[in-house]
Amino acid sequence: MVSEDLMERLSWSRKDLISTEDLARAEIDKIFTLADIFGASLKGDKAKLPYLKGKVVVSLFFEPSTRTRTAFEMAAHKLGADVISVASNISSSVKGESLKDTARNIEALMADMIIVRHSSSGAAKYLADRVGIPVINAGDGAHAHPTQALLDAFTMRAKFGGDFAGKKITILGDILFSRVARSNIYLLKTLGAEITLAGPSTLVPGEFEKLGVRVCHNLEDAVSGADVVMLLRIQHERQRSTYFPSISEYAKIFGLNKRTASLLKPGAFIMHPGPINRGVELDSFLADSGRSVILSQVTNGVAVRMAVMKLCMDAAEKGK
């Protein structure tokens, strides 16, 4: 069992987690330290921890999810909470209820925390400003997916031995519509990494350079000498027009394959938040190869989300 004194030091004042943009280095380190503790517990005796015992967590997903939803719900269970999943297709939102009313009704039912995924950028912050209980953003439109970026960085930290300074990280694919890319850019920059964004110019516009990253439209240049390459799928569900001639052409020019992966640094590894479109952004062989840490990302998602949920719940309790 971890000492109360250490747990007291591993605290913060946010009731919500909406974005990685304003996360301080010290806050990120607290998440990682707690995730180390929870990850060891998950691998060890697998007993439930009591930190959210008696709490009710509502999981409110208005977009499909496999990894994020399961990991959040598993994290809540592992912390001793009860979990209620509200499927958006059978919730009263289909009868015209607003997001605000849905959330305030969930709060009136004495829930203690809301995990929300929504297609509208800003939905999580909108809710967090209108309810007193913690709200954790599980992905809002193209804006942010903070816990995905945190689990990505947590996975890299283990591979890097803790130090991000000067590490070259290439994020390759549909950056324009990616909340994962945005959350990773802010987080990895705070941690000291050097970031290259790569893909077709229609999906990786030069304006991203304003965020302090390199923009590159040539796959070979983008991956040469990189320590990590993170692939992103094409987000057809958010695109309103055609951004490249065809999927097969995209795969040929921007898909990572054995030849282009050989340009990475020796020991470099391959990441993907999922779901993978095999044979499009990433060759199937590479996805399953020893260079891939894709399933470790998924595993780490539980411990990282346990850390975030504990930190936010404690902050909300202190603020009462």
Q: Which of 186, 187, 273, 310 binds ligand CP (CB under 6 A)?
A: 273
- Is there binding between residue 66 and ligand CP (CB under 6 A)? yes
Quick one: 59 or 68, whose CB is closer to ligand CP? 68
Contact 115, 79 (CB under 8 A): no
Find the shortest distance in angstroms from Cβ 139 to ligand CP.
6
Residue 108: strand, helix, or coil: helix
Q: Shortest Cβ distance from residue 276 to ligand CP (Å)? A: 10
The CB-of-108 to ligand CP minimum distance in angstroms stands at 28
Residues ≥6 apart with Cβ < 8 Å to 277? 233, 234
Number of residues binding to ligand CP, judged by CB under 6 A: 10
Q: How far is the CB of 275 from ligand CP (least distance, A)?
A: 6
Q: In terms of CB distance, is 173 or 274 closer to ligand CP?
A: 274
C-alpha torsion sign, points 162, 305, 139, 280: positive
Q: Which is nearer to ligand CP, 39 or 274 (CB)?
A: 274
- As measured in angstroms, the least distance from the Cβ of 69 to ligand CP is 6
Cβ-based nearer residue to ligand CP, 41 or 297 = 297
119 interacts with ligand CP by CB under 6 A:
no
| Owner of token pair 């289909």 | 94
Q: Of the two residues 33 and 70, which places its CB atom closer to ligand CP in the complex?
A: 70
67 binds ligand CP, rule: CB under 6 A: yes
Nearer to ligand CP, 41 or 155 (CB): 155
Which of 48-56, 59-67, 72-80, 97-105 is the region at the interface with ligand CP (rule: CB under 6 A)? Answer: 59-67
Task: Tell me the C-alpha distance between 233 and 88, whole Å.
Answer: 24
- CA 255/CA 270 separation, integer angstroms: 13
> Is-contact 164 192, C-beta < 8 A?
yes
**How would you class 278 by CB atoms within 10 Å of its CB: exposed for 0-12, middle for 13-18, buried for 19 or more?**
middle
The residue (of 117 and 215) whose beta carbon lies closer to ligand CP is 117
Among 184, 199, 274, 309, indicate the residue that binds ligand CP (CB under 6 A). 274
> Between residues 65 and 119, which has the closer beta carbon with respect to ligand CP?
65
Count CA atoms within 13 Å of residue 191 on its CB side: 28
Cα separation of 41 and 99, whole Å?
36
Give the binding range for ligand CP (CB under 6 A) out of 36-44, 77-85, 107-115, 271-279. 271-279
Backbone angles phi, psi at 315, to 5 degrees: -65, -40
Round to whole Å and give the CA distance between 177 and 182. Answer: 9
What are the φ/ψ torsions at residue 171 (nearest 5 degrees)? -110, 120
Q: Which residues contact 215 (CB under 8 A, 6 or more apart)?
A: 196, 197, 198, 204, 205, 206, 208, 209
Is residue 148 part of the contact set for ligand CP (CB under 6 A)?
yes
DSSP string over 264-315: SPTT-EEE--S---BTTTB-HHHHTSTTB-HHHHHHHHHHHHHHHHHHHHHH
Binding mask 186-205 for ligand CP (x = CB under 6 A): --------------------
Using rule CB under 6 A, residue 299 touches ligand CP: no
Q: Which stretch binds ligand CP (CB under 6 A): 29-37, 93-101, 217-225, 270-278?
A: 270-278
Q: By the criterion CB under 6 A, which residues form the site for ligand CP?
A: 65-69, 139, 148, 273-275
